Each structure stands twice: as C-alpha cells, then as structure tokens.
Amino acid sequence: MAVIHDPLQKPEGRIETKNTTCYMCACRCGIRVTLRDGEVRYIQGNPEHPLNKGIICAKGASGIMKQYSPARLTKPLRRKEGSNRGDSEFEEISWDEAFGIMEERLAHLRATDPKKFALFTGRDQMQALTGMFAKQYGTPNYAAHGGFCSVNMAAGMIYTMGGSFWEFGGPDLERSKLLIMIGTAEDHHSNPMKMELSKFKRNGGRFISVNPVRTGYSAIADEWVPIKPGTDGALFLALIHELIRTGLYDREFLVQYTNSAELVSTDEDSDDFGLFARTDIPQDPDCFDPQDRVWWDRTQDKAVHARTKETDPYLLGEFKLADGRDAKPAFQLLKDRVEDYTPEWAAEVTGIPAETIKRLAYEMGITARDEKIELPIAWTDVWGNDHDTVTGNPVAFHAMRGLAAHSNGFQTIRALTILMTILGTIDRPGGFRHKAPFPRPIPPCAKTPKSPDDVKPNTPLNGMPLGWPATPDDLFVDDKNEPVRLDKAFSWEFPLAAHGMMQNAITNAWRQDPYPIDTMMIFMANMAWNSTMNTTSVRDMLNDKDENGEYKIPYLIVCDAFQSEMVAYADLVLPDTSYLERHDTISMLDRPISEYDGPVDSVRIPVVPPLGDTKPFQEVLIELGSRLKLPAFANKDGSRKYRDYPDFIVNYETEPGSGIGFLAGWRGKGGEKFMKGEPNPNQWEMYEKNNCVFHYEMPKSYQYMRNWNRGYLNWAQEHRLLRYAEPINIHIYSEILMNFRLAAQGKREGKQPPEHLRKRVETYFDPLPFYFEPLENHLTDKHKYPLNAVTQRPMAMYHSWDSQNAWLRQIHTYNFMYVHPKTAAAAGIKDGGWMWAESMHGKVRCLCRYSESVEPGTIWTWNAIGKSKGAWRLDDKANESEKGFLLNHVISEELPPHEAGKHISNSDPNTGQAAWYDVRVRIYPAGDDEPKESYPQFDAMSALPGTGKTQKVIGFFAGMFRKKTG
C-alpha cells in the first residue's frame, strides 16, 4: 500500500502573527492576522478582545480578498484635461503634485471664503479627526454619514434619555428575559449582537422580532410579528396606551428618574403654556437641566419642589397652582396623548392584530413586573439616597434603521424610548444599558456656531461643525433665519440635524442653494451610487456645467481605497490604504467601542506595508493641516507640529494641557493614567502589547443607573467624560421640543422660523410623541403606488464594499426583489421573472423572487449589491451590473414641492434623517421583448491607472512558495 499523503504537513514559510482591528464593517472587532512570508494567510477574531472574544464574521474572514483586490487604487490620479467627469480618464500624478494642488486651492478658499470648501465623509470611523480638520479650517460644511444612516436613532433617544443604541448603549441580553427587536435586520451591532442573541436564547430568553421581513436575526426569533414599514410609532403608542391602561408601568421609576410627575402648565393663556412649572429655588446658572420643577404631593395635597424627601407625587390628575394656573403632570399629558392610540386603532395602521398588540404589552409588562432582578450592588443616587440593590426589569429592546430611516422616525424613536422608560428598563440589568461616554446631558453640550459671523477667513470655526441644539437660539442660521450650512442642517428646515445631512450635499451644491461652493472633498462615500438617493440625477449633477462650461461643483476631490463609482467623478483621486496597512484610532472622542461595564477604545496598527503609493487619509489630513498652517497642526512660527499621524495621536490634546486626547488608555508619562493624563510617548507600543485595545472596567456600583448614580457621575466628571455631575432625568415630556414649537407659534422671543416653515415646526416639534404617516405618503397617490419598498443589508456584505471581494461576491452576486407570492401574482409577475418597480420618482427593472417571509404590502431587496458596469474592477458582464440593481433609483432626495418649500429634503423634519424607507411603489411585469437585464444601465467604467489585474482564476495560497495557479 502506498504511503498516504500526509494531511497534517505544514506548508513552508515564515509565519508571523500581529493584532489589529478589523474594518470589514463598522463593528471594529479585534483581529489576529497571520502572515506567511509577509502575505496575509489567516485573519481570525482575537480571543482576548472584549468586543468579539475570538469570533469573526463572513466579512472579517474575507479580508484577504479585500487586501489583494484588483480594485485597489494605488496612485494619486488627476482627471485628464478635456475629459468629462464620469469618463474615468485619469493620469497618474505624484503625491507632491496632489498636495500642491490641494494646498493652493484650499489655502485660497480659506483666506477668502472658507465655507466654499466642503468635506463630507462616509462611515469612516475617524470623525473626530475629520470634524476637527473642518473646524480648524473654518468651514461649517462638514458632516459624516450619520444623516443618511441612523441619526434619528441617536437623536430620538439622546433627546429623551441621554443615550442611544449601538456604540452608545444596547440591550443587556446577559440578564434579560424578553427581547423585542424591531426595525433591525442583520447589522448594528453585528458580531456582538449575534454572540449575545445566541447566549440569550440558550439561557431561555424569549425573542420577538417585529419587522416587515423575516431574515437574519429575525430567522431565529421565537415569534415574528410582521409590520408595515413606517408604522412602528403607532405600535409603540398603542403599547404605551395598553401598559398605562392596565397599570403595568413602573411607577417608582417614573416618579424619581423621569419628568413624569413634574407639572406642566396647561393654561393656554399663560406665558408659560406647555412649559414646566418652576420653583424659585436658586440654581447653578451653568447647569443644563435645572432641578427646579414642581410635583403635586399626594400626602399634603399641594405643590412641592420635585423630589423633596418624604413626598410622593401624583402622576395623574389636574391641579391648580398657587397663582391660579392649571397644570398637569407630564405623565397625565402622555396618558391623554395615547388615549386614542388604542390597539384597535394601531391594528389598522400597522397590520398587526389588536390581540397581538395587547399580548405584546402584557408580555412586556408582566415580565418587567414579575421577573424583577435585584442585584446585591449598593449605590447612591445623585440626591443622596442610598440603595442596597440595583433593580432590573428584564425586558430589553433593540432597534435600528428600520425605525430611523423614515421621516417620522424621530417621534417614533421618542415613543420607543418612552415605552422602554415606563417599563423601568433604562440603564438597569436586563434592560437597556449605556456605554461610555454615555449617558450625556439632554442634549449633550457640544454646540455648532449660531451665526454666519462664526465663519471667518483664516480662522477656525467658532463652534463644533456638528452639535446638539438645546433651544431655537442654538440654530445655525443667519439674520433672516436662513441656513448657514450647505446641507441646511441646524436650520429651521432640520433643526436637530445632529449628524448633518450629507444626503443633500451634492444636490444643494449643484443647485447652489443656499450658495455656490468651490471644492468638495469626499472621503470613503460612494455618492455616485449606493450612498445617494436619486442616483441617476445625482450622477448628472456631478457632471453638470453652467453656461460658461464650468462645472457647477467646480472641484471634486475623492479619497477612496477602491475604484468605486464615485471615483469616476473626481477631479483628483487620493488612494487610501487598506485597514491592514495603517495606524488608526477608535477614539473616545468619536464613536468608541465601550462595553456596558466601562470605556473601551482601540487602535489599528499596520500589519503589512502600504500597497503602491497609497496613503492613509489620516496622513493626508495631517499633511494638509500642516501645509495650511491650521492652528492645531502648526506651531506659532508656522512650522509643522506633528511628524505624522501616530505622532499627532500621541501628542495632541483637545486644549493645551487638557490631558484629553484621541486615546484614553496608557496616558501619563509612563502610561500610568487613563482617560486623562499627559501624552505618553510609548502609547502606541502599549496598545500594541495589549491586543490593540484599552478597556477600563468600572466598579460594579458605577455600572448601572448612571443617569442618576452619584458615584458614576462624579467619576465621569473627574475623568472629564462629563462637564456636570447632575442627574440626567428622562424626558417623557420634551420641553426642548416645546420651545421650538413656541417659537413657531410666535410665542417665544429669539430666533423665529421663516413664515413658510412655521406650520411645519409647530406640527413636528410636539413635546409628546405622536404618529404621523411618513411625509412622502402625504404627497403620493397611495392608490397608484400601493406598496412599500425597503432594503436590508446582508450579513456577508458591507454597503458597496464587497462586490470586489472574490469570496463574498460568490455569496451575493446579484439581488432579487422579494415579493409576497400573492402580491406578485396579482400583478402578473412570475417567480424568477423580470419585473418593474416604479415610484413617482423613477423605476427599476429587476428580477422577482417570491417570498413568504415578507409582509404582503412590502417588497424588498438587499442593499448595494447592484453595481455600475465596470466599477470595482468587475467585468462588464458581471452579474452585479447585468442583473443586480439599486433601489436608490426610485427614491428621491427631495420631496415634491409642498407648502414647506420647493426643494425640501426627503428627511425627518426634526433631525434631517434621510427617509430611505418612505418610498411607495407599484409593480408590474417586464415585457417579453424587453432586454433581460436590470434597468437603469450605465456606460462601463474603464480600469483606472494603478489598479490591479483581474485574474480569470484565483488559487490563493499565501506565501512565497505559492502553489501554481496555472
């Protein structure tokens, strides 16, 4: 018998292992990269990393094919003279030339009119640096991707309870008994969510998923509750109705930790109608939420200062204050509000039977009340009351873009937060828990400039480029109450646009509304494809010229690592490195990866050298900042302050001597301090030695009830996470919103909305959550367009990034439109047949797939699988462009003209969140004589100089001693 080939034989080669942080999506898992002869051989989850504890996802495990993708850009490129944008005709230039071009152009703009430079970035994980660059430059026109992602989730929750889902907090599945996941497909959070869901189920937890579609996480739910898109708010309000009606709310929690018992003036004739009644107890003028409210005490039957010891207020009722004004507790106003939001009413709106809605309410209420957790952890609240235990009501929620990406999302998410609050689940075991640096004040302290005078030549911006308005006077408007920013964020159109409105940047720049700009720099955002609505028109805008033959957007700089659709429209292309080739920080100043038990931040450290002439965008900004002599990057004599990005990270402090920098770990001269401390020259090495991650686990007594936990708040203040150590009481009733409404009603001094927006602001700035149909519904013929159309992101792909990935594109090569069989059959569309989906804005031709996992009034598809021909270095015949499609073509970035204006963004009227999921469509079969390909199609993009060769066959085998691929 012949000797059997030894299957255990190890291939030859020099093996090295290095730790860094993944970037195949936004999770930021710790990874361990094994190299063989310098080539990436294996990427695994780092078992010692607190976020992913050794696990990795399909994307993370395919990093090799991203690293060696032929779509990698390797040279700075300049659009060839005489060619049009979109033609992909480029010539290679040196970095010196590229910097020369940018320095000259940007220095001129900064000296003349800095707002003519706009910087917009995608899901870049470095907003702290990009935002700081914009501020230092002095332009207000900066935003990252939040406006078209999930700002409603952040703003809706932060304006209500000072924290939010994902990076800022989440469900405590370790101790929860009941999880309701709503509007979440398969991401946000990805790996940690999968890990926790599995443990939760194995521990006997009950998992209910509310979603129009049953895929991903919903697949393993114990119960799937299909819902019509955009109606989640109606469900929450009916649940609140039922919980109040049956007395299944947590009274003690509402009294002490929220403004539920605080009296609101209901006297329509009084000056303070809709505002809280206040005592004249002296307050610290610096504080953000004065504790001067009034309760009606049950025992004494009179008004008392809220939270006076030994008092117990009414939550319901109607009272007369000493001066004769009528007042009601905020909770009574909430009860009045939900009076007509019955389960029967919500059943009509949501498509969920009333009996199911009631049962869901009872499951939540009974679990919260009867499965109570008492942890033996003593803590002291901010009013000085000692507690022997931490109480938990083990009902957890998780929600994401399914709620957020609707124009009614802000009020919907307010309703969700209030539902979570009346169940008594905020920052408690088994409920929702914060992650540092949250909770933050309501709203957080960061503020934008308030006037055009805050934008001056050769001067940093007087304020943060993005912030959290607390009153109408915080808006960034001119003396006519018109927007100062290009995207109109923080104007009366979108007052609480906390993440900016990138989705309107190109359209507004093209229309020169509110003003023309000169140079737009786009980092890592595919604005000519999947990251924009109305894709075809936006591509035309990027290429549009005025009567003098000049581009309406005069200069476009695009930094990307890959040959994306957007790159074709650039005048100047800057090739970024891959995530395995650079230093990077996952910073506490940005959106860190904290755990419930304490702050966590992390770094990337290069594991392989940069490909070709690639340069990390971080280095580009440091270099540009130095050349432009921006104060943070230059010494007084104009010389550069920082050698490079690693040097900047170690030595930069938010203010001289503040001790606060990008990294929180191993600060102080010898690395002995954290959060705050002098720069440590060996900080990078210390991160590298410690799995590239810093994790501080707080004492158990600081880990819960943080909005009101004296120990935690003092600690957070001492370590400068917070300016104030004051209670962050939950806003059942939002006086902040009421102040905007009063301004709209002309009842408040200070900034006033323009006349045409008064009605809009008055309507949507309701201090109590309410349900309204998504804005587009009011302006669409719902009989003509009877269906909702939505997208979801597949687990194995991150936006448009992974079609170039030889392994991942075999999982999702093209996308179908999923339609319920009855809906499809009624329209005469066959399973597997070509069909049209048409909205009032546009139409797409695509392939139909019958599905029983979708609510019959909804059709859906995977996001960003479809590609433009030739983009991402795919062949012209690739399935992604022939059969794949984008839903974006049927979605508009602007609403049809209506009373609020001719060009109002298709976004939430409170926050400016892009309303991706509001679109309504009709469907019909494609004709037999039509081409068997998706529509629209675009001219093929040719290979850019410096990109790689697309092999016909890959047989990847890492290392020098490669097996032959033939």
Partner 1 sequence: MTQLALIIDLNVCVGCHACVTSCKEWNTSGSAGFMTDENPYGKDPTGTFFNRVQTYEIGEFPSTETLHFPKSCLHCEDPPCVPVCPTGASYKRKEDGIVLVDYDKCIGCRYCSWACPYGAREIDEKQKVMKKCTLCVDRIYDEELPESERKPACVLACPTNARLFGDVHDSESEVSSTIREEGGYQLMPEWGTKPANHYLPRRKTRMHIHEDELQRADNPLKKEERGPRAPVDAPTLDDSTSW
Q: Which of residues 4-23 bind partner 1 (CB under 8 A)?
A: 4-11
- Output the smallest distance, CB 963 to partner 1, in A: 5
Q: Counting contacts by CB under 8 A, is residue 825 touching partner 1?
A: no
**Contacts of partner 1 in 913-942 (CB under 8 A):** none
The footprint of partner 1 on residues 653-692 (CB under 8 A) is none
Q: Which is nearer to partner 1, 93 or 366 (CB)?
A: 366
Using the minimum distance from each CB to partner 1, give the nearer residue, 52 or 491: 52
370 near partner 1 (CB under 8 A): yes
**Nearest-CA neighbor of 289 among 730, 845, 770, 868?**
730
Residues 840, 858 contacting (CB under 8 angstroms): no
Q: Which residue, among 444, 495, 519, has the nearest Cα to 118 in the 3D structure? A: 519
Instruction: Provide Rg for the chain, Cα atoms.
Output: 28
Q: How far is the CB of 638 from partner 1 (least distance, A)?
A: 48
State which amino acid sits at residue 916.
Answer: W
Count of residues in contact with partner 1, rule CB under 8 A: 109
Is residue 145 within 8 Å of residue 121, measured between CB atoms? yes
Under rule CB under 8 A, residue 303 binds partner 1: no
DSSP 3-state of 319 = strand
**Options 475, 795, 848, 941; binder of partner 1; rule CB under 8 A:** 795
Asked if 565 touches partner 1 (CB under 8 A), the answer is no
Instruction: Check: CB of residue 910 under 8 Å from CB of residue 411.
Output: yes
Find the binder of partner 1 among 882, 893, 908, 918 (CB under 8 A). 882
Min dist. Cβ of residue 34 to partner 1 (A): 9
**Position 301 contacts partner 1 (CB under 8 A):** yes
Spatial distance between the Cα atoms of 382 and 708, rounded to a whole number of angstroms: 5
User: What stretch of H or E contains 413?
Assistant: helix 409-422
Locus of tokens 């998992």: 207
| CB closer to partner 1 out of 62 and 519 | 62
Distance between CA atoms of 803 and 809, rounded to whole angstroms? 5
Q: Where are the beta strands (DSSP E) in 705-851?
A: 787-792, 816-819, 834-838, 843-850
813 to 751, 793, 810: CA distances (angstroms): 52, 14, 6
Nearer to partner 1, 226 or 606 (CB): 226
Q: Pick one of 128, 796, 844, 914: the residue that binds partner 1 (CB under 8 A).
A: 796
Distances (CA, A) of 363 to 208, 359, 360, 368, 426: 11, 6, 5, 8, 18
Q: In this chain, which stretch among 357-365, 590-598, 620-628, 933-941 interacts with partner 1, using CB under 8 A?
A: 357-365
Residue from 963, 961, 651, 794 nearest 14 by CA:
961
Min CB(200)–partner 1 separation in Å:
9
CB under 8 A: which stretch of 92-100, 202-210, 626-634, 752-760 binds partner 1? 202-210
Give the pair of three-digit tokens for residue 627.
């050349």
Give how far the C-alpha of residue 827 lies from the chain's centroid of Cα atoms, to the nearest Å: 36
Determine which residue in the list 810, 899, 927, 929 makes contact with partner 1, applying CB under 8 A. Answer: 810
The CA distance from 830 to 822, in Å, is 11
Among 87, 363, 647, 688, the residue binding partner 1 under the rule CB under 8 A is: 363
Q: Measured from the CB of residue 727, what is the shortest distance to partner 1 in angstroms?
A: 22
Is the dihedral angle over the CA atoms 846, 848, 853, 858 positive or is it negative?
Answer: positive
Q: Which stretch binds partner 1 (CB under 8 A): 601-609, 639-647, 809-817, 827-835?
A: 809-817
Q: CB of 785: closest distance to partner 1 in angstroms?
A: 22
- 161 versus 874: smaller Cβ distance to partner 1: 874
Least CB distance from residue 571 to partner 1, whole Å?
Answer: 27
Tell me the DSSP string of 890-915. Answer: G--SBPPSBTTBSS-BSB-TTT--B-
- Would you count residue 636 as binding partner 1 (CB under 8 A)? no
* 310 binding partner 1? (CB under 8 A): no
**Between 242 and 893, CB nearer to partner 1:** 242
Answer for which of 813, 833, 937, 945 binds partner 1 (CB under 8 A) is: 813
Among 118-126, 277-285, 429-437, 948-956, the segment contacting partner 1 (CB under 8 A): 948-956
Please report whether residue 502 would count as binding partner 1 according to CB under 8 A: no
Exactly one of 272, 292, 312, 644 binds partner 1 (CB under 8 A); which one? 312
Assign 551 to helix, strand or coil.
Answer: strand
Residues in 229-268 at the binding interface with partner 1, rule: CB under 8 A? 246-249, 251
CA 955, 957, 958, 963 torsion-angle sign: negative
Nearest CB to partner 1, comparing residues 79 and 793: 793
Is residue 723 within the footprint of partner 1 (CB under 8 A)? no
Q: From the CB of 848, what's the least distance to partner 1, in Å?
A: 15
Residue 226 sits in the site that holds partner 1 (CB under 8 A): yes
| Cross-strand bridge partners of residue 600 | 695
Question: Smallest distance, Å, CB 313 to partner 1?
Answer: 10
Q: Of 124, 211, 169, 26, which Cα lies nearest the Cα of 917?
A: 211
Residue 527 found at the interface with partner 1 (CB under 8 A): no
Q: Does 204 help bind partner 1 (rule: CB under 8 A)?
A: yes
Looking only at Cα atoms, what is the longest distance across the chain? 105
Q: Which of 343/444 has CB closer to partner 1?
A: 343
What's the min distance (Å) between Cβ of 695 and partner 1? 20
Q: Which is nearer to partner 1, 495 or 959 (CB)?
A: 959
Nearer to partner 1, 61 or 442 (CB): 61
- Cα gap 362→239, rounded to integer Å: 9
> Nearest Cα to 100, choosing from 72, 78, 129?
78
Closer CB to partner 1, 367 or 683, in the complex: 367
Convert residues 840-879 into a mask of x (bound to partner 1 by CB under 8 A) and - (unbound): -----------xxxxxx----------------xxx-xxx
**Hey, what are 181's tokens?**
């996941």
Residue type, 889: H
How far, in Å, are 420, 565, 698 from residue 728 at the CA level? 16, 45, 19
Which stretch, 607-615, 757-765, 799-807, 836-844, contacts partner 1 (CB under 8 A)?
799-807
CB 818 within 8 A of CB 835: no
* Residue at 824: amino acid letter: A
The residue type at 794 = P
Taking CB under 8 A as the criterion, the residue among 18, 38, 44, 471 binding partner 1 is 44
Nearest distance in Å: CB 410, partner 1: 29
